[in-house]
Amino acid sequence: MKLKDKVVVVTGATSGIGEACARIFGNEGAAVFITGRSQVKLDNSLLHLQKAGILCAGLVCNAAEEEENKAMVEEVMRHFGRIDILINNAGISMRALFEDLDLKVFRQVMDINFWGTVYATKYALPEILRNKGSIVGVSSINGFRGTPARTAYTASKYAMNGFLESLRTEVMKKGVHVLVACPGFTASNIRNQALTADGSIQKESPRDESKMMRAEEVAGFILKATLNKKRDLILTREGKLAHFLNKWVPGIMDKVVYNHMAKEKDSPFK
Point out the residues that are catalytic: 153
186 close to 192: Cβ distance less than 8 angstroms: no
90 close to 12: Cβ distance less than 8 angstroms: yes
Give the sign of the dihedral formed by CA 127, CA 139, CA 62, CA 216. negative
What residues contact residue 145 under an 8 Å CB cut-off, 6+ apart? Answer: 242, 243, 246, 253, 257
Rg of the chain over CA atoms, in angstroms? Answer: 18
112 close to 63: Cβ distance less than 8 angstroms: yes
H-assigned helices in the chain: 16-27, 39-51, 66-80, 103-110, 116-131, 151-171, 215-227, 237-248, 250-262
Residue 161's CB is within 10 A of a number of other CB atoms, namely 20
Q: Which residue from 170, 180, 140, 179 is spatially nearest to 156, judged by alpha carbons? A: 140
Compute CA distances 199 → 38, 109, 140, 215, 246, whole Å. Answer: 19, 10, 21, 26, 30
